[in-house]
Structure 1
Amino acid sequence: MTSPRRRGTESSKTRFLLLDTAERLMLDEGYAAVGIRRVAREADVTPALVNYYFPSLDELFLAVLRRRAEQEFALQSRALESDQPLRALWKYSSHPAGATLMMEFTALSNHRKVIRQELADYAERFRNAQIESLTGYLEERGIDADDLHPLAILVVISAISRIFVMERAMGLTTGHAETLDLIERSLLQIDGPPAPPEKAK
Structure 2
Amino acid sequence: MSSPRRTGTESSQTRALLLDVTERLMREDGYAAVSSRSVARIAGVTPALIHYYFPTLDDLFLAVFRRGAEKNLERQTRLLASPHPLRDLWEFSIDAGATALLTEFMALANHRKTIRHEIADYSRKFRRQQAQLLADRLPDLGLDLDDVPPAALLFLVGAVSAGLVSEDLLGLSEGHAETIALVDRLLSRLGGDPPAGDAGA
Is this a same-fold pair by TM over 0.5? yes
Q: Deviation per CA, 1:71-129, whole angstroms, max 9, x where unpaired? A: 11111111111011101101111111111111111111111111111111100000001
Query: What residue number does 2:59 align with?
Result: 59
Q: Deviation per CA, 1:19-51, whole angstroms, max 9, x where unpaired? A: 011111111111111111111112121110000
Give the TM-score taking structure 2 as reference length.
Answer: 0.93
Distance 1:76 1:128 in 2: 12
Q: Deviation per CA, 1:148-194, whole angstroms, max 9, x where unpaired? A: 22112111211222222222222221101110111011101112142
Query: What residue number does 2:161 align with?
Result: 161
2:93 aligned with 1:93: yes
Could you tell which deviates more after superposition, 100-109 or 153-162?
153-162
Query: What residue number does 1:80 align with?
Result: 80
1:2-151 matches, cutoff 5 A: 2-151=2-151
Give the TM-score taking structure 1 as reference length.
Answer: 0.93
Distance 1:4 1:111 in 2: 27
Could you tell which deviates more after superposition, 123-132 or 37-46?
37-46
Distance 2:23 2:66 in 1: 12
Q: Could you tell me the percent identity over the aligned residues?
A: 52
Q: Deviation per CA, 1:124-146, whole angstroms, max 9, x where unpaired? A: 00000110011122233342233
**5+ residue gaps in structure 2?**
none
Query: What residue number does 1:197 align with?
Result: 199
**5+ residue gaps in structure 1?**
none
Number of equivalences: 198
Residues 84 and 193 in structure 2, CA contact (< 8 A), matched pair in contact too: no
The Cα of 1:4 is off from its aligned counterpart by 2.6
Report the aligned-residue RMSD: 1.5
